[in-house]
Every structure is written in structure tokens, then in C-alpha cells.
Chains A and B, each alone.
Chain A
């Protein structure tokens, strides 16, 4: 019997990408996606269920569909996208409900994969150059994204202890850059202006978006338990990120940089969320050897991820549009999938 996979946040970037990746795996029998909105990417055989962001109905869905794997991609790591309250609801309450559904008596779930972020390590001058998975952060928690992710991971840790028969995988991803994803860093670089703090040029890591999906897929298909850092090899200075992407550095004063940049944030010229402030001051490095030992192969280094973004960005600039040729429309897809008018077995 093939695997039956449930993906959270199908309407978000990662949910959609993950569903696409799993669709190509023959051993996956059924893919079910939850989302508050309709998916934005073309999907072949993924079932979509509209749900609220807190997943309060999840236990009924799990029971009804007998899924054996839950891929929890819907953790918000970018505070620009969502207001404070929603962030807590999505990350903490959503995970709470998800784990409750997965751990209920007689549950069919055998594996839970959680997409976390290296934000939980924070950024401080007292940090080691490379955080290992078991290392604790050295600075107090300052931002709400970090706080909610730490809470999520502690929920997952408890869940792992309570359910030793389940495979629980937590992947902590470094900052993502790539061809399509929009993050505060890529947003700024697309607008050619990358904020930095005057006098600081920290070393940072990036991961390419394809490697993110491949890593999630890898631990899912190989059923690898544990916590893993995921980041491209090497580190590069913040100024080099800017020069590879042919942007301009925008120095902010070392004291209260966010207040200084507030008017620009208001008009949308730059994005500078609080979790980025520590990063551009002290940077962050995570040791990825554990995942490499588990057999995962990276396609991109940290600098390679930046370059991948830069190349896509050059294309976008040259053609004047970053939109994909085909906008996914749920109704059309439904038509293709279910209408008797469509002749099956022919490449449409």
C-alpha cells in the first residue's frame, strides 16, 4: 500500500511546492492538502480541503482519510506577511491541533515532518560560528517569530517523547533564496536596495528553495527522524549577497535601525522585519553535517542559492515580469480532473 500524505498550507509557497514534489513520487498513493485559500500552483492529483488556519477540524480529517504522514509546511517564519495575533494562531495553535490529531488514540499517522527555521537560534555576538542541532540559543528571545517557533518546537519535542513509535522529523531551514520565493531579503534585492547596519558585515547562510523541497521530500520518503539544520555549504558576507545580486547596500545606523527605516517600510521600499535585525548585525551559521551524514545531497551552496536568485532576478528585470506563464485556476483544474468532457489518458 502506498503512502497517504497530508500537507498543511497547500495555498502557501511551500505547501504547493511540496505537493508538486510528492505527486511525482509513485509510492505516494494519496496527497491531501489543507489551506485557507485555493492552491496557487498547478497540481495533478492533490486533493484540496479548505480549512481555517488553526486546523481545528484536523483530527476528523485524519481519521476519515487514514493518512500516515503529515508534512507540516505551514509555519510562518516571516513576520511581514501576518499580524502578530495571526502568527501565534498559525504557528502555535495550528501545530497544537495538528499534533493532537496525529497523536490521538488509534491514529493512523506514522510520520510527522515539521518545517522550522534557524530563526530559533537567534543572532547574537555570543553565538558560536556554527550552531549544532542540540545547541541552545545564547541570547534572549526578542522577536515574535522566534518566540512562536520556539514554542512550536517545544510542542514537537513533547510530542516526540510522548509518541516514541512515530517518526518525527524537524528541519530547520536557513534563510531561503531562489528563483520564485519572496522573502524580506529577496524583496529588498528585487527593489535593488538591501538594508545593512553601518559598520557590520556579518556572515550568513542561505538555502535554495529547491533544496528546501528536496530536503523535506528526502526525510519524508526515507522516514528519517530527528532534528536537522538545513543550509547551503559555506557562509558569505552580507555585502557579498548584495554584490552577487547586483543590488546596493543601504546602511542603517547601528542604534535603532528599524525606527530609522520605518518610513521606507511604510511605503514598501524595503522590508526589514525585527527578526532580520539580528541577522544583519551578527549573522548566523548552522552546522549541517548531520543531514549530510543522513545522506542528503545539496545542490546549491549558500552563495549558489544567492546566485540562483540573482539569475532569476536578471531574467525578471529583462522581461519585465516575474509571473509564471500559467496562473493556476482551481475551477479549470477541477474541470480537467473531474469533467466527463475531458478524455482521460491524453496529455492535455
Chain B
């Protein structure tokens, strides 16, 4: 595993990270029309963006590579042209220290809400990790060394990070879920290279299935293929369920609070997965399949604007048929304090087991072009009309490509 070729590419640029610091701001400052360019650069191995190291550097140093490298190599055949050029991208660090000193420093330049707007431009122009470090030094009156700057928090016994995600738990779940992903849903990705390898990005996807089957598949797929952790933002409701709530949190679930999203995307430059339709989508009946619901109040657009990160829409086909809802029993939902109580086809065929068993549908994902916003990040408010327009555009694009994918689909089961 240590012989992994990409290890070399990772260490090489880190030797002179200072020299490259000037580049990323220039690229990021470009107008949105030319945004596609840096992504194209990323493709060939030799052109590995030097600055991506900085984004992950604090984690990379402290991350112990687990056995994850091997399964990924095996899986390269079908997508060889894609996966082989990928660097060994470290999964989220084990140590809470790694997270906290990063985000505290990032906070250093955009503390709280009010000063965000003042320091917004600086935050945009600098590469996430490095910029925060230098900027905070310049702004802070006192040079400081904090205990967690000196190294990992030695008192910790587990690798649960500040969001509750544990890479150890995640790797166990990945191993268990992998057969489901590969042989049950036979997941296929299209345009995976459009998901940024570094820096924050807000992934959004259409949502479906009484107990949605799309979120675990997306998180699993991106973590396996790109080696980046994905934080799945979901309704608070999950948190209230014993055991399930804890497991959800350990495997990368985060309550969908705007502050949480901003912190993940801006301060920590992570990937966050959001379903803008919310439970309106998962509770819809089979007759409404593949019809996107309202995209909330456009909050996801506002968060992406404020955090200065792109939105990457993902169209999903298959999840709708994996656990279709025939009708909902509202009185039962009220009595059980659930958001909705679905009667699914699965449950009619299999009884209670049907609530934990999906149909073996063919699941396909298509990643659409990332959307960059040419607005100044870090503002408290954005034009409501602009936010709603953008949300509506994204919704229309997503709906179109879902229809496209459905046109091409011949069979629910075989794709």
C-alpha cells in the first residue's frame, strides 16, 4: 500500500508549498465562464494542482492510510481512464485536533457573522488552508501557540471528529455496503470527474425512496472513487432516533443546519451533500416519481454563495423504484411522531422486512456541471430574487437531465 504511486505526487509538491501559493487565487478569481478550465487541468497526472496539497495538508500529515487503497485499485478497470489519474486523496483525518485547528484558524478571518462581510474578499482569494493560516496571523494581535497546534490531541481514544464522523466506522460500513453498491444496485456514475478533488463543494441531488437509498450510494461512491469524505446533511429527525441517529452521525451524517453547512464548506472545505427537496421528495408517492419537489427556500444556494463554493448537481435515477410509496398513513405518522408513515410496495410484498429491503434496481448517477456564483462570498444576505432564480435554474437543469436519463433507460432493473 505504501508503494502506491500517488504517494510520490503528494509529497513532491509539499516540499515547496510556499512557492505555489500565488496560483490558486488567480484561478479562483476568474469569471465563472472560465471555471471549467482549472478542472480540465486537473486531469493529467503531471498537472496535479500544486495547491490541492495545501487544502488537505493538515489532514494528510496526520492521516493514517488504512486498507482502503487496495480495493480502489481493483475497481479501476471499468473506469480506468478516470481513477488512475486520481491522487491518493486522504480521507478525513482521524484527529479532532486536525479539524479544530483548521476551522479555528479559518474562523480567525471570518469570525462570527458580522465580520464575515469585511473579510469576505480575502477569504475568497486565498487558498483555503494556507490562506487562513497566513491571514489569521496578520489579523490577530497576539501570536499564539495552542495545545492542538503542537500535534494531535493525545488524550483522544477514538477517531470521531467534531461532526461525529468516524473514519474507522465509515470504513467498516463501506466494507459492508460495498456488495450492495456493486451487486445489488450496480451503481454507475457519469461525470464523476466534475466533482472537485479539493476545496469545498455543495453536492445536491434529487431525493427518493421511502427510506432514501440515494444518499448512502452517493457517499459510498464518492468516498471510494475520489477518496474524499462526504458529509450527508439530513433532517434533524434522524438525530432523535436512538442507535440509528448515532450510527448516522458516525457514518458522516450532519444535521442540516445552515451554520453546519457553512462551517463544513467554507471553514473546512469539505464536500457536503444536500437534498434541497427534503422530506417532500422522499414522502411522495410512486405516481409522482421523478418529479422534483420545491427546492426549499433556496437556502442551499445562499449557503454556497456565502461559503464561496460551487454547487454540483447530481441527477439520480433508480432510487425512486427501490422503495416506492403507494400511500401514506398520516394518523400513524402522527401517533409515532414520524415525518410520514409510508406504505411501500416492499412492505406489502415482504412485510416489516420490506422497510429495510430495497428492490434491486439499477442505480445511475450523472454529475452535472458545477455552478459557480459570481457573487462576493461572506455576505450576510444575498439578493432574494437572485437566490430564487439560481435555485429554480438548478432545479430545471436537474429535472431536464433526469428526463434525459429516463429517456435512455430501457429497464428499471438493468438500466
Contact = CB atoms under 8 A, between A and B. Distances in A.
A81 to B, nearest CB: 28
Contact of A297 (B113, B144, B153, B239): B144
Interface in B87-108: 96-97, 99-101, 104, 107-108
B160 interface: yes
A281 to B, nearest CB: 9
A233 B97 CA distance: 8
A301 B148 contact: yes
A299 B155 CA distance: 13
Contacts of A199: 241-246
Interface stretch (A21-29, A125-133, A187-195): A125-133
A294 B393 CA distance: 43
B97 A234 contact: yes
Given A290-B112, A306-B155, A300 B245 contact: no
B141 interface: yes
A236 B111 contact: no
Contacts of A299: 147
Interface stretch (A2-10, A46-54, A237-245, A271-279): A237-245
A304 interface: yes
Contacts of B236: 125-126
A197 B242 contact: yes
Contacts of B108: 289, 292-293
Nearest to B258: A128
A288 B103 CA distance: 11
Contacts of B96: 233-236, 301, 303
B176 interface: no
A129 B162 contact: yes
A68 interface: no
B257 interface: yes
Contacts of B104: 233, 288-289, 292
Interface string A187-219: 000000000011111010000000000000000
A298 B146 contact: yes
A240 B156 contact: yes
Interface residues of B, number: 45
Contact of A237 (B153, B158, B244): B158
B155 A304 contact: yes
B101 A125 contact: no
B246 A289 contact: no
A140 to B, nearest CB: 15
A254 interface: yes
B145 interface: yes
Interface residues of A, number: 43
Given A130-B259, A289-B107, A293-B140, A236 B156 contact: yes
Contacts of B148: 233-234, 301
B263 interface: yes
A237 B163 CA distance: 10
Contacts, number: 128
B410 interface: no
A307 interface: yes
Given A130-B263, A289-B107, A304-B155, A234 B113 contact: no
Contact of A304 (B147, B157, B255): B147
Interface in B249-274: 254-255, 257-260, 263
A285 interface: yes
A282 to B, nearest CB: 7
Nearest to A254: B242
A278 B254 CA distance: 18
A295 interface: yes
A287 interface: yes
Nearest to B254: A129
Nearest to B147: A301
A134 interface: yes
Contacts of A289: 104, 107-108, 111-112
A200 B142 CA distance: 40
A292 B105 CA distance: 10
Residue in A125, A134, A295 whose Cβ sees the most chain B Cβ within 10 Å? A125
Contacts of A240: 156-158, 160
Interface in B203-254: 236-237, 239-246, 254
A272 B94 CA distance: 32
B164 interface: yes
B162 A203 contact: yes
Nearest to A197: B242
Contact of B142 (A128, A234, A295, A298): A295
A233 B147 contact: yes
Nearest to A239: B158
Contact of A200 (B146, B156, B245): B245
Contact of A301 (B155, B157, B164): B155
A293 B111 contact: yes
A134 B148 CA distance: 26
Given A199-B246, A203-B162, A233-B147, A128 B157 contact: no
B257 A129 contact: yes
A133 B107 CA distance: 14
B242 A235 contact: no
A235 B140 CA distance: 24
A318 B112 CA distance: 46
B378 to A, nearest CB: 15
A295 B141 contact: yes
A278 to B, nearest CB: 12
B322 to A, nearest CB: 26
Contact of B162 (A135, A234, A282, A304): A234
Contacts of A306: 155
Contact of B144 (A128, A236, A288, A292): A292
A198 B244 CA distance: 11
Given A129-B259, A130-B259, A295-B144, A301 B153 contact: yes
Interface of A: 125-130, 132-135, 197-201, 203, 233-237, 240, 243-244, 254, 282, 285, 287-290, 292-293, 295, 297-301, 303-304, 306-307
24 contacts: A125-B236, A125-B255, A128-B257, A132-B112, A134-B112, A198-B242, A199-B242, A233-B100, A233-B153, A234-B96, A234-B153, A234-B156, A234-B162, A235-B162, A236-B156, A237-B158, A282-B239, A287-B107, A289-B108, A290-B111, A293-B108, A293-B140, A295-B140, A295-B141
Given A235-B96, A292-B104, 17 more contacts: A126-B255, A127-B257, A128-B257, A129-B260, A135-B259, A200-B245, A233-B97, A234-B97, A234-B156, A235-B162, A237-B160, A289-B107, A289-B112, A290-B111, A293-B107, A293-B140, A304-B155
